[in-house]
Structure 1
Amino acid sequence: MRRRHLATLALGLVPGLPLAPAATHAQGIADRPLTLFAAASLQDALRALEPAWRAAAPGNRPLRFSFAASSSLARQIEQGAPADLFLSADEPWMDYLAERKLILPETRVSPLGNALALIAPADSPAAPLALGRGTDLAALLGAQGRLAVGDPAHVPVGLYARAALTWMGQWEALQPRLARAESVRAGLLLVERGEAPLGIVYATDAAASQKVKRLGIFPAESHPPVSYPFAVTTRAAQDPAARALLAWLAGPPAAAAWQRFGFTVRAP
């Protein structure tokens, strides 16, 4: 009996508890949901896509989402947050993780595009307009109004907005009047609540809300193309399900859903 007790302790087992089969690393991976760190602008489409993913094959695992600005998510991944896939709203933040060897470069794809929109509260008297170099956004804001936008210091929509306002020759005048938000959805909320008379968001976010109206689309030449790169993280390097999910999200099965939510689906 003494020898049996010592053998049990040597194996790291607790006396009195039944012995269980050893769980392999692969089994541990297969038991957990796949975690997606995704740009805030993707949340409606991804939540709608999850049931289709689960139904696509019997073994497809549930999805867990973390939505925020791409900059915030990239830094969380850098600090060790457990993401299997990173879905960014711009290329530079994917580059940030690539430079730190935190994504698998061979999995990186950029399947989606978007447009940049100027919005106002739904009950605003502002009328739709063609945005161009001569558009006076300061006049549209009024004497005290602020322009809601993701923080141009790091949030992708804010970086696109800064480029567009610079192209229009209005960045210097409008910079002090920005209501800087932590993500595109936070900026949208400021306009929905009437706390800002105007905002700059993605066209898909404008379409998702009944509390705002779209006044115009910024010309494509006014800013870098809005691009959504996706990649598997190094954490999921040994998890084939992560690669399968990425291929599914970036491929034909998901294309119609992305388009339904207003995204541009790029040819592979």
Structure 2
Amino acid sequence: MANARGIGRRNGVMLLAATVLAGCAPRRRAGPAPIDLFAAASLREVLDAALADHRGRSGRTVRAIYAGSAQLARQIEQGAPADLFVSADEVWMDWLERRGLIETAARCRLASNTLVLIVPDATPLTSVNLASPTDLAAQLGDGRLAIAEANVPAGRYGREALTRLNLWQSVADRLAPGGDVRAALALVARGEAPLGVVYATDARAEPRVRVVAVFPAASHALITYSAAPVQRQDGAGDPAAAKAFLDFLNGADGQALFRRFGFAPAPV
């Protein structure tokens, strides 16, 4: 019994010592806060690679949220804690600039893209004649055309291209709209829509779809990815760190990543 009490006392002393040592141990300093990036859904793969590369070089973590540019811009206006915004067009960047919510002096263009028509990979169709409204309608059959909503850049580019090519009337009442371009891509990839309008880089990132037509560049506004640091309304964040990541994206190594993932150079 005495031996058991002795063991108990020794265990108690060891536990107390461990507790005291833990209390005396120096606390690890918290690292710098992550950079919060809001970016167009079509940039997921290239920006995931870029933020991993940047973290390896700088030790700074970048947290990315991907969605439609319109949705993200509105969230920033409502006070969402974004440090950096990358839009798939100039329209929503202009919209934020008019509201004084971005660092105008640091705004830049990062890349451009191409608009394409896709089908599920299992479909035997190899091409669609964009010069023929009847061919497009025939290939749709009883299905619908997957396309991003009208307020999203990809949806706006797509509707503009279909209109200029005199195809809009043949598909206007046969749309399957998605909240962003990746939602439209998913509908085709799952076989829920026979045709879809997406960016060339989206089709490249999804093995379950194939490109059957490329929209002429002249049929829509130039697809331009615009980026800028955000003027956070909560006064938090690290503007210098956000600018450093943007400089990386706009530098030689960042631009090489954009090319690797199929993006074209930004317009001058």
Normalized against structure 2, the TM-score is what?
Answer: 0.84
- Counterpart amino acid of residue 147 in structure 2: V
Of 212, 216, 226, the match for 1:229: 226
Q: Distance in 2 between matches of 1:244 and 1:260?
A: 21
The answer as to 2:77 corresponding to 1:88 is no
Counterpart of 1:260 in structure 2 is 260
The alignment partner of 1:263 has SS state of coil
Deviations 1:162-214 (A, max 9, x none): 00000111213311101000010000000011110000000000011110011
Structure 1 residues 126, 80: closer, same or farther in 2, change over 3 A? same
Counterpart of 1:126 in structure 2 is 125
- Counterpart amino acid of residue 32 in structure 1: A
1:36-185, aligned counterparts within 5 Å?
36-57=37-58, 60-129=59-128, 131-132=130-131, 136-142=135-141, 144-152=142-150, 154-185=151-182
- Counterpart amino acid of residue 266 in structure 2: R
Q: Distance in 1 between matches of 2:176 and 2:160?
A: 17
Q: Distance in 2 between matches of 1:73 and 1:226?
A: 18
Q: Distance in 2 between matches of 1:147 and 1:232?
A: 35
Counterpart of 2:26 in structure 1 is none
Is contact 2:111–2:267 with CA below 8 Å preserved after alignment? no
Structure 1 residues 98, 82: closer, same or farther in 2, change over 3 A? same
The alignment partner of 1:234 has SS state of coil
Taking only the aligned residue pairs, the percentage that are identical comes to 47
Bigger radius of gyration? 2
Give the gaps of 5 or more residues in structure 2.
1-22, 24-28
Normalized against structure 1, the TM-score is what?
Answer: 0.84
Q: CA deviation at 1:130?
A: 5.4
Is contact 2:128–2:136 with CA below 8 Å preserved after alignment? no
The alignment partner of 1:136 has SS state of helix
Q: Distance in 2 between matches of 1:246 and 1:221?
A: 29
The alignment partner of 2:172 has SS state of helix
1:15-34, aligned counterparts within 5 Å?
31-34=32-35
Is contact 2:117–2:195 with CA below 8 Å preserved after alignment? yes
Q: CA deviation at 1:138?
A: 1.1
Q: Distance in 2 between matches of 1:267 and 1:252?
A: 16
Counterpart of 2:208 in structure 1 is 211
Counterpart of 2:248 in structure 1 is 248
Give the gaps of 5 or more residues in structure 1.
1-17, 19-26
Q: Distance in 2 between matches of 1:133 and 1:36?
A: 41
The alignment partner of 1:199 has SS state of strand
Q: Distance in 1 between matches of 2:216 and 2:68?
A: 23
Q: CA deviation at 1:56?
A: 2.0
